Structure 1
């Protein structure tokens, strides 16, 4: 059986060239789920785009989501008929779109879908993420049925966290493979 394809789901504003997601795209040939508007993300558009890419990508899939991409995965899984194609999801530093400032910046993304995801998942959070308190991230992990991994004081687990290609994260993603 072929290894699953990996779909990269960046968050709000996309992931720049120094972000671990883009390192993985360059190193491993993973596919970025491109959005029409990274600055003004519309929930319905983002969910529809993810569904299109899932439908168009053959075989089993793994999702590697960051920030708003995590919220996208939960919302998509609650409405898509194609979730059985997904073997697992690595959800990193979910953005708390229900919190004051973020809620105002990203209207239409709350409430966060809090039901158990229909595939294996790991949620990696940080003790000092400015966009989601560790307790909130742990609550999302519980609600989504995800294994919680605490990365310590790693900020928003993005390019500013100086993770480079983040081999530990890639190893976590590989534990979700079912081939």
Structure 2
């Protein structure tokens, strides 16, 4: 059975955020860290992700939003585990973003008008991480303030990752 680990950004996702809706709708979705919330301390988030990944030998798909994408990339540079894929949604543009190729399949979702990262930056991260780029169009930061509670395209992308390559 595949595990699904939700890796939050720097803040607590609002109740109507797609990641919170997915966590409520799917019993096999877990937060890493549990519960999500501030402050964002990279080392703490990477350690929490490692703990969640190492908790089982079952394959895992990581679903990360915003700064959670950086947590995943940092984790992949330091640890290994039964991670088979990752959905990396609107990674922010920050200095010192990890850029090594990820050792698992990934889809990097990039917005055309994200206030936290340019489309070009997202394209470059997808290439650096060895991921498939998904152009989400003009969707802001793909969060509650951008109008995203339900996100059917994201659910479809997760299903794509759940099928072995």
TM range (shorter): over 0.9
- Match of 2:80? 81
Is 1:125 the equivalent of 2:122? no
Task: Say how many residue pairs are matched.
Answer: 163
TM-score (normalised: structure 1): 0.86
Per-residue CA deviations over 1:39-94 (Å, capped at 9, x if unaligned) read: 33221111111000111134110010000000110000000132xx0110000000
TM-score, length basis structure 2: 0.93
Aligned CA distance change for structure 1 residues 172 and 36 (closer, same or farther; 3 Å):
closer
Residue equivalent to 1:64: 63
Q: Distance in 2 between matches of 1:48 and 1:63?
A: 15
Given that 2:143 and 2:149 are in contact with CA atoms closer than 8 Å, whether structure 1 keeps it comes out as: no
The alignment partner of 1:78 has SS state of helix
CA offsets per residue over residues 20-57 of structure 1, 9 Å max, x none?
A: 00110011121011268833322111111100011113
Q: How does 1:1-179 map to 2 (within 5 A)?
A: 2=1, 4-29=2-27, 30-34=29-33, 38-82=37-81, 85-98=82-95, 111-178=96-163
Task: Output the CA distance in 1 between the equivalents of 2:41 and 2:23.
Answer: 24
Residue 174 of structure 1 deviates from its aligned partner by 1.0
Unpaired runs of 5+ residues, structure 1, are 99-110
Distance in structure 1 (CA, Å) of the matches to 2:44 and 2:148: 30
Q: Deviations over 1:71-123 (max 9, x none)?
A: 110000000132xx01100000001122xxxxxxxxxxxx1110110000000
Q: Unaligned regions of 5+ residues in structure 2, if any?
A: none
SS of residue in 2 equivalent to 1:176: helix
The alignment's C-alpha RMSD in Å is 1.6
